[in-house]
């Protein structure tokens, strides 16, 4: 399935619809990890698929898998988003609210919100490269090999960076739980 311009318009739209259905969730999770805001993630995901549709005629499966192609578009879109924000290190107020669910008790809700806020804070202390790798691994569900190919690092380097980033997150959370954070 390529975005070949020789395809008739109906076949092209069906091909793109399959691509969208197969990869929407992964692209959204990746972006959500990177930006930490549901609203922004939804907007940027929409932008990614608009760009993909516009460029679909130029997509060639011999050059990259669809997932890789879409994540490359997503990475560029997130980079542009942060560039427009002047790459501030502070979190948007929206991130401090956390995830609210109607199922748990109010006490559980407060606890979950605090955990989410702490995780977002700990995530924000990682370097941009660490955030990128954690987002690709846990957001887009890429393998280390796929991450390495995507960001032009060796697979072992990705593994080391990922291991250290997760260790930093664990330490940050433990410090918080022990009252030091």
Residue 174 phi, psi (nearest 5): -60, -45
112 is a domain residue: no
pTM of the model: 0.61
60 is a domain residue: yes
Longest dimension (CA), the chain: 63
How many residues are present in the chain?
Answer: 181
Count: domains in the chain: 1
Q: What is the pLDDT of residues 121-157, one digit of tens each?
A: 999 999 999 999 999 998 888 999 999 999 999 999 9
Write the CATH number for 3: 1.10.1740.10
70 is a domain residue: yes
Q: Which domain holds residue 71?
A: 1-88
98 is a domain residue: no
């Amino acid at each position: 399935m390529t975005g070949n311009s020789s395809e008739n318009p109906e076949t092209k739209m069906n091909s793109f619809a399959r691509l969208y259905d197969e990869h929407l969730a992964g692209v959204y999770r990746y972006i959500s990890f990177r930006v930490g805001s549901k609203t922004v993630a939804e907007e940027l995901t929409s932008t990614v698929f608009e760009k993909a549709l516009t460029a679909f005629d130029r997509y060639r499966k011999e050059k990259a898998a669809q997932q890789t192609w879409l994540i490359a578009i997503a990475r560029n879109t997130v980079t542009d988003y942060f560039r427009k924000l002047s790459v501030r290190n502070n979190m948007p107020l929206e991130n401090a609210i956390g995830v609210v669910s109607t199922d748990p008790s109010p006490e559980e809700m407060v606890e979950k919100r605090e955990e989410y806020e702490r995780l977002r804070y700990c995530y924000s202390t990682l370097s941009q490269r660490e955030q990128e790798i954690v987002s690709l691994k846990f957001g887009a569900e890429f393998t280390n090999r796929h991450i390495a190919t995507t960001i032009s690092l060796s697979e072992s380097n990705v593994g080391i960076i990922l291991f250290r980033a997760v260790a930093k997150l664990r330490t940050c959370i433990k410090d918080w739980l022990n009252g030091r954070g």
